[in-house]
């Protein structure tokens, strides 16, 4: 029998007024929420691996990765091969290095999609309570490609990736797409994320209620487009089941 996630009602639920979040469906962010946000150390390691794969300097790779985030996530590049070719061209590497870059992209992507056991327990608790789950992530093609081979994917019949929808958060089309696939109206749904990409305000503008979780991996984890948030908060995904079911238990 799988144990349920910790409830911690007194410490978190009352403080965040989380009883307001009773819902039919929860849409989760991925990086910084279900899996750790990459750290500066991890990014530096990735830069070195790409530099070795392309046989160019780390300074060049670092600059290209920093300025190409949008292009790699907004659907302009539709496959891992296109991302690899794009990086090779931007870094001035030989075209022959594209296969090695493609291999590196896939390997790093799969490594980033590992979740803690406690996250799976929390997701199990939500599913057993009848709450539908969806994933919504700004992601590049290698993440979308690897997703289906990860244990996390089995928890999410609905998964929406920016690179496949040609839009990045907080574009309302992403939230609408997830809701359409869930078959649940916005006002009966909650969006949970760490706040990157202005996602929480984007969810509210799309009609969902939003709940911030403290960034997994710590505030030093990399995030793009974060804006201040003054709404409901919980410290981790592990506490979300208690927050969302508080009203039902009263």
Separation of alpha carbons 48 and 41, rounded Å = 11
Could you give the 3-state DSSP secondary structure of residue 122? helix
Give 168-192 pLDDT, tens digit per residue.
999 999 999 999 999 999 999 999 9
Asked whether 151 and 157 are in contact (CB, 8 A), the reply is no
Task: Show the tokens assigned to 72.
Answer: 């790699």
SS (H, E, C) 47-83: HHHHHHHHCCCHHHHHHHHHHCHHHHHCCCCCCHHHH
Q: Which positions ≥6 away from 87 have C-beta within 8 Å?
A: 50, 54, 61, 64, 65, 68, 93, 101
pLDDT tier, 229 (very low <50, low <70, confident <90, very high otherwise): confident
pLDDT in the model for residue 89: 98
Q: Is the peptide bond before 207 cis (omega within 30 degrees of 0)?
A: no
User: Mean pLDDT across the chain, nearest whole number?
Assistant: 88
Provide the b/e sequence for 49-69 (b: ≥16 CB within 10 Å).
bbbebbebeeebbbebbeebe
Terminal alpha carbon distance of the chain: 26
pLDDT of 230 higher than 90: no
What pLDDT was estimated at residue 228? 80
Quick one: tokens of 189?
């749904």
pLDDT at 248 over 60: no
Query: Sign of dihedral through CA atoms 91, 57, 67, 143?
Result: positive
Give CA–CA dist 39/45, Å, rounded. 10
pLDDT band at 64 (very low <50, low <70, confident <90, very high): very high
pTM of the entire predicted model: 0.88
The yes-or-no verdict on residue 17 having pLDDT over 80 is no
pLDDT for 196 equals: 86
């Amino acid at each position: 029998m799988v144990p349920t996630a910790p409830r911690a009602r007194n410490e978190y639920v009352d403080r965040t007024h989380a009883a307001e979040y009773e819902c039919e469906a929860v849409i989760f962010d991925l990086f910084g929420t279900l899996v750790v946000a990459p750290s500066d150390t991890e990014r530096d390691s990735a830069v070195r691996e790409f530099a070795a794969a392309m046989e160019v300097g780390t300074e060049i790779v670092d600059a290209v990765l920093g300025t190409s985030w949008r292009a790699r996530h907004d659907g302009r590049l539709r496959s891992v091969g296109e991302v690899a070719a794009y990086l090779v061209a931007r870094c001035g590497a030989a075209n022959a290095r594209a296969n090695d870059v493609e291999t590196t992209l896939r390997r790093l992507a799969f490594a980033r999609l590992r979740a803690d056991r406690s996250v799976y327990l929390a997701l199990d608790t939500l599913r057993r309570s009848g709450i539908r789950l969806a994933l919504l992530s700004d992601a590049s093609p290698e993440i979308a490609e690897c997703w289906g081979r990860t244990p996390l994917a089995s928890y999410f019949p609905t998964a929406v990736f920016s690179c496949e929808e040609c839009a990045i958060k907080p574009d309302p089309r992403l939230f609408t797409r997830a809701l359409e696939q869930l078959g649940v109206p916005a006002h009966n749904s909650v969006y949970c994320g760490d706040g990157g990409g202005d996602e929480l305000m984007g969810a509210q503008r799309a009609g969902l209620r939003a709940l911030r979780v403290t960034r997994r991996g710590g505030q030093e984890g990399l995030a793009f487009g974060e804006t201040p948030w003054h709404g409901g908060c919980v410290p981790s995904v592990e506490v979300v089941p208690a927050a969302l079911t508080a009203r039902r238990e009263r």
